[in-house]
Amino acid sequence: MSERPTDPELAAAIELARRLSRRRFLTRAGLGMGAVALGPSLLAACGGGDGDGSEGGSAGGGSKKLSISNWTAYIDQDDSGTFDAAGTTIDAFQKASGVSVTYKEDYKDNDEYFNKFFSPVLGKGDTLAADIVVPTYWMAARLIGLDWVEELPLDDIPNHANLLDSYLDLAWNPGATKHMPWQAGITGIAWNPTLTGRDLTSANDLYDEEFKGKVTFLTELRDSVGLTMFGQGTDPAAADLDDINAALDKIEEAASSGQILKFTGNEYLRSLENGDVAACVAWSGDIAQLNPDLGIKFAIPEEGGMQWFDTMVVPKGAANVAAAAKWMDFIYDPANAARITEYVQYLSPVKGVREALEAAGGDAAALAENPLLFPDDATSSRLKVFGELAQEDEIAVQSRFNDITG
Amino acid sequence: MAAESSLRTGRKAPYGLLSPGILWLILFFLVPMGSLLRIALSEKPNAFLPDYEFTWKWDNFSNAIERFQPELARSFGYAAAATVLCIIIGYPLAYYLAFRAGRWRSLLLALIMVPFFTSFLIRTIAWQTILGADGPALAVMEVLSLVPVTDAIGLTTNGAFLNTPEAVIGGLTYNFAPFMILPIYVSLEKIDPRLLDAARDLYSRPSEAFRKIILPLSLPGVFAGTLLTFIPAAGDFINAELLGNVRTGMIGSQITKLFLRESNYPEAAALSFIFMAIITVGVLLYAKVLGTDELAA
Amino acid sequence: MTASIVATKQRRPLRSRLLGFWAILVYAWLFAPIVVVVAFSFNRPAGKFNTAWNEFTLDNWADPFKRQDLTDSLITSLQVAAAAAFVATIFGGLMALATSRYEFRGKGFVNILTVLPLTSPEIVLGSSLFTLFFARDLGLGFTTVVIAHIMFCLSFVALTVQARVRGFDWSFEDAAMDLGSTPWRTFRTVTFPLILPGIAAAALLSFALSIDDYIITSFVAGDATTTFPMRIFNAAKTEIPAQVNVIASMILLVAVALMAIGAWRTLKQEKA
């Protein structure tokens, strides 16, 4: 390791120095490093619970507790992020029904949740901790197709009748017997006028070289590809494989040329706020919730926008199906649905919400006139839901998209 | 070395001391690796169901290499760049601490660790603020009218520091700098000051003394620092996700993506093993080149 | 002619000054994000992300634990770190003692096994543990997180203590036992105080590593457990409240205070 000098006097001097340093070391060592609290590991309690992985079995009829996994910023809450503060929907529900609610905003991405929880747990017949999860419609369709959700006890959900008619004739679950929509939304384009210098009108504006490196798309395939298809003049609802691949070609080219900066989830909001990004694919409610002083604008492209919705399902084997039914019934009361919509500013699937908001007056009434929350027929006709794909096609397309998004 | 001779041999072997730790490592490191290897050689008949059939599917490995070659190369490239930067930044600092700092040495050493008591996620988010479009870094460049220059040399892209490969490398360098500084410091500090005095007496110039005494003696520290920096940097992907763009993806995000977004555990596992194999080979080569078998700092 | 024992420092002014200047630059670079973190704890964000300066406010510090989810995740992280550091320090310390004092069959294997987790990327450690727990139908949660953290801290502890203890003159122990001390008493009064700095350093290191871990934890935490880094990473995507900065600043203050105490005591001793 270290070279030994051969000069004997030097060696002696070094030996002496080494002994000196060892003594110093021992003294220092013996006195310890006062900075450390090796510390009372009194905190080493085994707190917290192990959530899932419990023995699978039939669903429980529990009606005293309820566990919900939802996306972020999707229910009214107070400033400190408390969901059951006085006056919130959850607080009202807990008081009215006696059910104690655990609400978690841990549903962040459909594929991630599927691969981390749905597939490994439900696929083996075990139960999840959550009694209600809120996947996006296509994931709900997949779960229903795999028979991993409970049939809803519609007799216990009289307000099911308040569901907008358009949700009742979906091919993958006619009559909405196994899911109840939570909120719907529109995917369009958002931009920062100070950075773009003009207003954007078309999905193809995102491909304008003027904004090179200042554009982001979403990691949600159906949104990014759908808008691109609109721009190319093809119909996302038809979900033709060639058209989809043509759109993917265009996205791939834009990504490798540097036109598209990154593919994001909700974090596009941060880049918009900070000015790192000039324009992007965006969700209507996110922009509506933004501070208007920031000046961010949103529009449905003239060729069309994507319509989507997130919906409540009860995973197979959930312990508290009765409580879940009570919750769904409560949510579908127009007064409660209006309160939620007022906060999240997405499209409500419940009939009568518009009237409830108008009746409330003030800011709420202004929302009733907001075309992003209550689109008129002309706007609605420009919105499309991405068509359904066969399983192998869906996997192939998703795989290709994943490679493009990096 | 005097201490080596006092190693006990032939007495009752210390298996009792070892067993809890070794058992833990076997159970929760080796066994999972085995299970991962098994999955790497399996296939998943149905993409949605968590069933795996062990079929000796070596294809998983070749598919993974073919599909993720760019990310593999990029990860090792960025990690190498970050490691080199860490050495350039860290060696002079370690030298200063070992030889020039005097009484303040412990305090200055502790100060290096202080930033790392905040979560690395928070630190990286702070870099987003510093390097962002509204941030101080760009503001300084604009005041000095240096933006065209930095664009030309590639430090910024389209007038932005953030969301560039340089930002990612910068983030990697930042996060792993202490892992380079401290080992180099430790090996420099161990150098006997009498050697330096002897060198001063024997060699005509200080640079020769540095080259022939200090540099070789500090190599174990550089080696340890390189390992502690390069390996985690190559596997890191948080920096790339927070500070990079779509063309700076590193292998860690791919593995995560394969596990989580595509549920393609076999390919994810195969890619993990390929990645680890490359690292292991690299480490062994590096060890041979440096001629030292010391792996501990 | 004996060379003088006290080393004389010959000053090379320019080189020293350059080195000093470099050191200042490096420290400025190391602390730049910290300054930002602390500064932004006094910011009232205009939007949902506390990453652009808006206006000065003391409100955040007035109510740092306003965000229940943040605070809960911090407590979870502290619990995990305490448990993991405790167990890892004991097991790892024992391992280090064994490898640095004894020669035995299988020592090579032990050395390799100790180092291997360090050369494995975190994502591989995390995903392999996930496949193990998943295959054995073990519920993911607090326990699995602690198990994982102990695993990766073990190597750090073993190597840290080993580095400290290597080159020890164990003849101290022999001397003590020759003088009639029992092995346990020898350990308690001679060995343990000598290795204590190494143990303490290793424990501190484990605690810090565990608190900061994201990748491995994200794989094994399940849907019921959230640690502080997990919460922040999610926050980075959807909302960064100013309380994140406040809590981070508070942790920093505690760490700096501890170090200041340690440094002050060391300086005092060196003067003595």
Angle at which helices B105-113 and C242-271 cross, to 10° = 160
pLDDT over threshold 90, residue A158? yes
Of the candidates C91, C127, C255, the beta carbon closest to that of B268 is on: C127
Put simply, the chain B residues between 184 and 243 with a CB less than 8 A from any chain A CB are 191-195, 198, 216-217, 220
Give the span between the Cα atoms of A214 and B62, in whole angstroms.
36
Shortest distance, CA B244 to any CA of chain C (angstroms): 14
Q: What is the pLDDT of residues A208-239, one digit of tens each?
A: 999 998 999 998 999 999 999 999 999 998 88
Verify whether the Cβ–Cβ distance B194 to C263 is below 8 Å.
Answer: no
pLDDT over threshold 80, residue A274? yes
CB B63: neighbour CB atoms within 10 A? 16
pLDDT band with cut points at 50, 70 and 90 for residue B11: low
CB B292: neighbour CB atoms within 10 A? 15
Angle at which helices B15-25 and C107-119 cross, to 10° = 30
- Per-residue confidence (pLDDT) for residue B152, from 0 to 100: 78
Put simply, the chain B residues between 91 and 120 with a CB less than 8 A from any chain A CB are 110
Which of A9, A80, A118, A119 is the mutation pick for testing C, counting most C CBs within 10 A? A80
The chains found to touch C (3+ Cβ pairs under 8 angstroms) are A, B
- Per-residue confidence (pLDDT) for residue A286, from 0 to 100: 86
- Per-residue confidence (pLDDT) for residue B136, from 0 to 100: 87
Query: Where is average pLDDT lowest: A121-135, A380-394, B40-54, B199-213?
Result: B199-213
- Mean pLDDT (chain B, rounded): 84
Q: Quick one: what percent of chain C has pLDDT higher than 90? A: 21
Verify whether the Cβ–Cβ distance A17 to B163 is below 8 Å.
Answer: no
- Per-residue confidence (pLDDT) for residue A333, from 0 to 100: 93
- Per-residue confidence (pLDDT) for residue B4, from 0 to 100: 42
pLDDT over threshold 70, residue C4? no
Q: What is the pLDDT of residues C67-90, one digit of tens each?
A: 888 888 999 999 999 999 999 999
CB C167: neighbour CB atoms within 10 A? 14
Q: Which amino acid is at A375?
A: P
* DSSP sequence for A23-69: HHHHHHHHH--TT-----GGG----S---S-BPP-SPPB--SEEEEE
Which of A7, A24, A38 is the mutation pick for testing C, counting most C CBs within 10 A? A38
Pairing of strands A279-283, A180-191: antiparallel
Verify whether the Cβ–Cβ distance A406 to B132 is below 8 Å.
Answer: no
Chain C neighbors of B174, CB-CB under 8 A:
29-30, 33
Pairing of strands A383-384, B42-43: unpaired
SS3 percent helix, strand, coil of chain C, rounded to 5, is: 75, 5, 25
Q: Given this structure, which CATH class describes domain A186-307+387-405?
A: alpha beta
pLDDT over threshold 80, residue A168? yes
Domain locations along chain C: 15-61, 68-240
Pairing of strands A100-104, A65-69: parallel
Residue C118: closest CA among B287, B24, B228, A18: B228
Residues 6+ apart with CB under 8 A from B232: B176, B179, C121, C122
Shortest distance, CA B225 to any CA of chain A (angstroms): 17
CATH code for the part of the protein at C68-240? 1.10.3720.10
Of the candidates A14, A261, A270, the beta carbon closest to that of B245 is on: A261
Query: Are residues C142 and C230 in contact, defined by beta-carbon separation less than 8 angstroms?
Result: no
Q: What is the pLDDT of residues C209-226, one digit of tens each?
A: 898 899 899 888 877 788
Give the span between the Cα atoms of A386 and A237, in whole angstroms.
5
Give the span between the Cα atoms of A404 and A256, in whole angstroms.
9
Exposure class string for A340-369: b at 16+ Cβ within 10 A, else e: bbbbbbbbbbbbbbbebbeebeeebeebbe
Chain A neighbors of B67, CB-CB under 8 A:
403
Verify whether the Cβ–Cβ distance B50 to C134 is below 8 Å.
Answer: yes
Verify whether the Cβ–Cβ distance B244 to A274 is below 8 Å.
Answer: no
Give the span between the Cα atoms of A387 and A138, in whole angstroms.
9
Verify whether the Cβ–Cβ distance B192 to A274 is below 8 Å.
Answer: no
Query: Where is average pLDDT lowest: A28-37, A71-80, B111-120, C220-229?
Result: A28-37
Exposure class string for A375-396: b at 16+ Cβ within 10 A, else e: beeeeeebbbbbeebeeeebbe
Q: Quick one: what percent of chain A has pLDDT higher than 70? A: 86
**DSSP 8-class letter at A374:** S
Give me the mean pLDDT over the B229-247 stretch: 90
Give the span between the Cα atoms of A274 and A296, in whole angstroms.
11
Torsional sign, CA A212, A218, A219, A223: negative
- Per-residue confidence (pLDDT) for residue A205, from 0 to 100: 92
Domains of chain B (ranges; CATH) run 64-132+165-290 (1.10.3720.10)
B42 vs A12 pLDDT, higher one: B42
Q: Which amino acid is at B129?
A: T
Of the candidates C69, C201, C222, the beta carbon closest to that of A51 is on: C222
Domain locations along chain A: 65-179+313-332, 186-307+387-405
pLDDT over threshold 50, residue B43? yes
Verify whether the Cβ–Cβ distance B275 to C154 is below 8 Å.
Answer: no
Of the candidates B8, B20, B118, the beta carbon closest to that of C252 is on: B118
- Per-residue confidence (pLDDT) for residue B9, from 0 to 100: 53
Give me the mean pLDDT over the B136-153 stretch: 82
- Per-residue confidence (pLDDT) for residue C180, from 0 to 100: 77
The chains found to touch A (3+ Cβ pairs under 8 angstroms) are B, C
- Per-residue confidence (pLDDT) for residue C29, from 0 to 100: 94
Per-residue tokens: A35: 């900075």
pLDDT over threshold 80, residue C194? no
Give the span between the Cα atoms of B290 and B278, in whole angstroms.
18
Residues 6+ apart with CB under 8 A from B84: none
Verify whether the Cβ–Cβ distance C142 to A50 is below 8 Å.
Answer: yes
Residue C52: closest CA among C233, C214, C245: C245
Quote the ipTM score.
0.83
Look at the block and give the residue holding tokens 């290597």.
C166
Residues 6+ apart with CB under 8 A from C96: C157, C158, C159, C160, C161, C162, C165, C198
Q: What is the pLDDT of residues B178-212, one digit of tens each?
A: 999 988 988 888 888 788 788 778 877 777 778 88
Give the span between the Cα atoms of A113 and B162, in whole angstroms.
30
Verify whether the Cβ–Cβ distance B260 to A214 is below 8 Å.
Answer: no
Which of A14, A26, A41, A46 is the mutation pick for testing C, counting most C CBs within 10 A? A41
Topology of the domain comprising A65-179+313-332: D-Maltodextrin-Binding Protein; domain 2 (3.40.190)
Give the span between the Cα atoms of B111 and B138, in whole angstroms.
27
Residue A242: closest CA among A32, A396, A404: A396
Shortest distance, CA B270 to any CA of chain A (angstroms): 17
- Per-residue confidence (pLDDT) for residue A48, from 0 to 100: 28
- For chain A, the C-alpha Rg in angstroms (whole number) is 28
Residue of chain A whose alpha carbon sits nearest to that of B135: A274
Of the candidates C3, C68, C143, the beta carbon closest to that of A50 is on: C143
Residues 6+ apart with CB under 8 A from B53: B42, B43, B44, B45
- Per-residue confidence (pLDDT) for residue C167, from 0 to 100: 66
**Geometric angle at alpha carbon B227, from B222 and B228, rounded to 5°:** 95
C58 phi and psi, to 5 degrees?
-100, 0
Q: Quick one: what percent of chain B has pLDDT higher than 70? A: 93
Give the span between the Cα atoms of C223 and C230, in whole angstroms.
11
Per-residue tokens: B189: 């500090």
Chain B neighbors of C122, CB-CB under 8 A:
232, 235
Which of A116, A216, A290 is the mutation pick for testing C, counting most C CBs within 10 A? A116
Residue B82: closest CA among B294, B236, B293, B213: B236
Give the span between the Cα atoms of B240 and C63, in whole angstroms.
33
pLDDT band with cut points at 50, 70 and 90 for residue B7: low
Give the span between the Cα atoms of B109 and B124, in whole angstroms.
22
Of the candidates C51, C137, C200, the beta carbon closest to that of A33 is on: C200
Residue of chain B whose alpha carbon sits nearest to that of A25: B190
Pairing of strands A65-69, A260-264: unpaired
Q: What is the pLDDT of residues A71-115, one digit of tens each?
A: 988 999 887 777 888 889 999 999 999 999 999 888 888 988 888
Look at the block and give the residue holding tokens 């795999």.
A146
- Per-residue confidence (pLDDT) for residue C240, from 0 to 100: 83
Of the candidates A14, A35, A255, the beta carbon closest to that of B246 is on: A255
Of the candidates C86, C199, C239, the beta carbon closest to that of A44 is on: C86
Shortest distance, CA C254 to any CA of chain A (angstroms): 11
Chain C neighbors of B167, CB-CB under 8 A:
none
Shortest distance, CA B164 to any CA of chain C (angstroms): 18
Verify whether the Cβ–Cβ distance B123 to C34 is below 8 Å.
Answer: yes
Residue of chain C whose alpha carbon sits nearest to that of B226: C119
Which of B9, B76, B123, B125 is the mutation pick for testing C, counting most C CBs within 10 A? B125
Query: Where is average pLDDT lowest: A59-63, A148-152, A292-296?
Result: A59-63
Query: Are residues B129 and C52 in contact, defined by beta-carbon separation less than 8 angstroms?
Result: yes
Give me the mean pLDDT over the A360-384 stretch: 86
Query: Are residues A344 and A350 in contact, defined by beta-carbon separation less than 8 angstroms?
Result: no
pLDDT over threshold 70, residue A34? no
- Per-residue confidence (pLDDT) for residue B297, from 0 to 100: 36
